[in-house]
Amino acid sequence: MSQLLQDLTQNLSLTAGIGIGATLVMDAWLMLLKYRGVPTLNFAFIGRWVGHLLRGQLAHAAIAKAAPIQRELALGWLMHYATGIAFAGLLLAIQGTDWAWNPTLLPALLLGVGTVVIPLLVIQPAMGAGFASAKTTTPVKNCGKSLLNHAVFGLGLYLSAVLIAGLLR
């Protein structure tokens, strides 16, 4: 039982470390974009959406016009990092924890790119932007940015696993 608990703790720690690291890489990318004048996601809107979701409202005509939620920015950042950890857990569930000790780029990159379906098919429609940003003025550009952002997240999964594996050896 003690070994099982130790393995579980190690797996959860690996998952959290890889997910947090990958999300930090994505955030660094978003900060670079913002510095270069490229509009990026307002995490307060994610928090607002989640806050309303917890109250039973899934979709909005325009999340920016929805009633603000107390501490929505903090909630948005919390959800952003929790999602990154969950995606890291999905990667380890698919690849096995051995991948974390000997990470390869392709599975991480494919998973990162694959996660773009969540914003395009769930979050954007629920926040009023339509499926794949269809209700925005530049849907193709927005989809491309989302795809690139999630590819960077995938790269972050790989880089975080390389760093963690190197530190723990």
Give yes or no for a contact between 22 and 157, defined as CB atoms under 8 angstroms apart.
yes
What total of structural domains would you count in the chain? 1
Range of the domain at 82: 2-168
Mean pLDDT (whole number) for 10-23:
96
CA angle (97, 99, 104) in 5-degree steps = 160
Instruction: Provide the whole-model pTM.
Output: 0.95
User: In this predicted model, what pLDDT tens digit does every residue of 88-141 receive, in sequence order?
Assistant: 999 999 999 999 999 999 999 999 999 999 999 999 999 999 999 999 999 999
In three-state secondary structure terms, 43 is helix
Secondary structure letter of residue 64 according to DSSP: G
Task: Say which residue the tokens 């960077």 belong to.
Answer: 152
Residue 82 pLDDT: 98
